Amino acid sequence: MRALIILTVMALVVMVAAPLPTSAEANDTVCATVLQTALVVLESACTDLQPGTVCLGFPGVQPSFVNGDTGSPFDQAGQQLALSRIGMLRSEALNVTNGRVGLAALSFAVPNSAPPTVAATGLMIGEVELQLTSYSINVRTAFKDSPDQCQQAPAMVILRSPDNAEASLYVNGAMLLLNGMIAIHFQSANSASFIVQQGSVQIVGGPAAQAGSTLVAITDNTGTIMTWSAARPMSEKEVQLLSALQSLTGTYKAFAVMTAPAPATTNCSPVTHVVSHGETLYRIAQHYNTTMQAIIDANNISNPDAIYAGQALNIPCGTPTDTVTVSNPPASNTGNSGGSGANDGTTTTAQPGDSTGTIPCGDLTTAVAGSFNGIAENFSDSGLPMPSIGGGLPCQ
């Protein structure tokens, strides 16, 4: 009898100790199910995507029409609308309560081509706002989780060039020459990742990136790109973001292709850098052609904002450079096409050690710091440094 009681108690202990699925785990399971269901519906419903149209892949996408066009309900998977009728597309975040997620396929046509020729194709997934004109798009995506969303719910726009052809795309005020596929996802209100899944992308007047790399664009509060970072390997979070598409196997299987993150450069010798007054990790990383994270990891830095003059830092890899040069982005336009800018096409060279307070008026830093409400706070929230380089805006 005593042995039976002991065994019973042990069984109860095992039952109590056995981990039960957390609400977050259960939530993620539902999220994955909703997303995979939506992708299956997209592949079966949008097999015949016409140039210059958007196809509803899964309910949760709402168009705003132009020129007084009242449109019709856009609520049936497979339904297609001409992009020329639409000024704005908004898609919903993945919601575990109602089992919906915004999902649509897009085909951009070459302007004035006859018959219509595809310039690029794309997907919009999750909470996205897409402004459209005849020659440009403006992308905004969600960047903060909410209680009814998946913790890692994708919110992104993917753009893909035709096979063996280059696509020229005007995106958020910048001209992109795309030979492959990129995903656009906002990290914060004023910071967007351009993740190169396949091939390469060249920013006219800016940097280039290869597959497995990411460019980070700094934007104003309308989403217009002001300046760019140098290319870096895609992060683990970005890999996870794109892995949501790996189940695509049918018509849209090309969107599941993802190149592994680019390896960090290793053909260099470590050096020691003594911090000067006013320097930041961001500027030091640029100076040595490495990344902030590499310096943080090499020096066990817990607070990147707390470095001080005279501190010796181990720089794990990189080649010192004397200056950092960033070309101006293309001028923006008004309305949906983003305004007319005062950009004169010049290039400003910032010296290592410069800061926002020391660069003279007329440059991009002054405009970003002084003209767009909330940008400094958004940089602080996102962990990104305020850019201290750029040029082209006149003094008032």
Domain boundaries, the chain: 23-256, 271-382
Cβ-contact 192, 158 below 8 angstroms:
no
The answer to whether residue 144 scores a pLDDT higher than 80 is no
* Angstrom distances, CA of residue 321 to CA of 89, 297, 328: 44, 22, 20
When the pLDDT of each residue in the chain is averaged and rounded to a whole number, the result is 74
For residue 9, what pLDDT is reported?
37
pLDDT in tens, 174-189: 999 999 999 999 988 8
Nearest to 293 by CA among 241, 229, 203, 358: 229
For residue 114, what pLDDT is reported?
79
Residue 83 carries which DSSP code? G
CB-based contacts of 258, cutoff 8 Å, min separation 6: 197, 198, 239, 242, 243, 245, 246
User: Which is more confidently placed, 273 or 368?
Assistant: 273
**Three-class secondary structure of residue 130 per DSSP:** strand
User: Which is more confidently placed, 12 or 295?
Assistant: 295
CB-based contacts of 119, cutoff 8 Å, min separation 6: 108, 109, 110, 162, 167, 168, 169
For residue 328, what pLDDT is reported?
36
Thinking of the domain 271-382, which architecture would CATH place it in? Roll (3.10)
Describe the crossing of helices 375-382 and 364-371 by its angle, rounded to 10 degrees: 100
The answer to whether residue 326 scores a pLDDT higher than 60 is no
Tell me which range, 10-19, 146-155, 158-167, is most confidently predicted by mean pLDDT: 158-167
CB-based contacts of 331, cutoff 8 Å, min separation 6: 173, 340, 341, 342, 343
The answer to whether residue 360 scores a pLDDT higher than 80 is no
Q: How confident is the model over 72-93, as a mean pLDDT?
A: 91
pLDDT in tens, 213-235: 999 999 999 999 999 988 989 88
For residue 389, what pLDDT is reported?
29
Cβ-contact 74, 63 below 8 angstroms:
yes
User: Which is more confidently placed, 260 or 243?
Assistant: 243
For residue 350, what pLDDT is reported?
36
Nearest to 382 by CA among 247, 186, 229, 164: 186
The answer to whether residue 41 scores a pLDDT higher than 80 is yes
